[in-house]
Amino acid sequence: MPSTAEHKENIPEHIAIIMDGNGRWAKKHGKARVFGHRSGVKSVRSVTEGAAEIGVKYLTLYAFSTENWNRPRAEVTALMQLLVSTIAKETKTLSKNNIKLQAIGDLKSLPASCFQELNKAIASTANNSGMTLNLALSYSSKWEIMEAVKELLTDVKKGKIQDDEIDEAVFKNYLCTKEIPDPELLIRTSGEHRISNFLLWQLAYSELYFTDKLWPDFRKDDLLQAIDDYNKRERRFGKTSEQIATKK
Compute φ and ψ for 106, nearest 5 degrees.
-85, 70
* Rounded Cα distance, 23 and 40, in Å: 10
Q: What mask of x and - would describe binding to ligand FPP in positions 178 to 197, judged by CB under 6 A?
A: ------------x-------
Residue 56 beta carbon to ligand FPP: minimum distance, rounded to whole angstroms? 16
| Contact string 40-79 vs ligand FPP (x = CB under 6 A) | xx--x----------------x-x----x-----------
Stretch that binds ligand FPP, among 37-45, 142-150, 161-169, 221-229 (CB under 6 A): 37-45
Give 14 or 37: the residue with its C-beta nearer to ligand FPP: 37
Q: Which of 16, 17, 83, 180 binds ligand FPP (CB under 6 A)?
A: 83
Strand, coil or helix: what is 99? coil
CB-facing half-sphere around the CA of 44: CA atoms within 13 A:
24
Q: Which of the residues are catalytic?
A: 20, 68
Shortest distance (Å) from residue 44 CB to ligand FPP: 5
Query: Would you call 223 exposed, middle or buried from its count of C-beta atoms within 10 A (0-12, 13-18, 19+)?
Result: buried
15, 16, 17, 19: residue in contact with ligand FPP (rule CB under 6 A): 19
Enumerate residues 194-233 that contact ligand FPP by CB under 6 A.
none
DSSP string of 29-46, one letter each residue: TT--HHHHHHHHHHHHHH
Give the total of residues touching ligand FPP (CB under 6 A). 18
Taking CB under 6 A as the criterion, the residue among 60, 66, 84, 86 binding ligand FPP is 86
**Terminal CA-CA length for the chain:** 34
SS (H, E, C) 123-188: HHHCCCCCCEEEEEEEECHHHHHHHHHHHHHHHHHCCCCCHHHCCHHHHHCCCCCCCCCCCCEEEE
Residue 117 sits in the site that holds ligand FPP (CB under 6 A): no
d(CA 156, CA 152): 6
For ligand FPP, the binding residues (CB under 6 A) are: 19-24, 37, 40-41, 44, 61, 63, 68, 82-83, 86, 135, 190
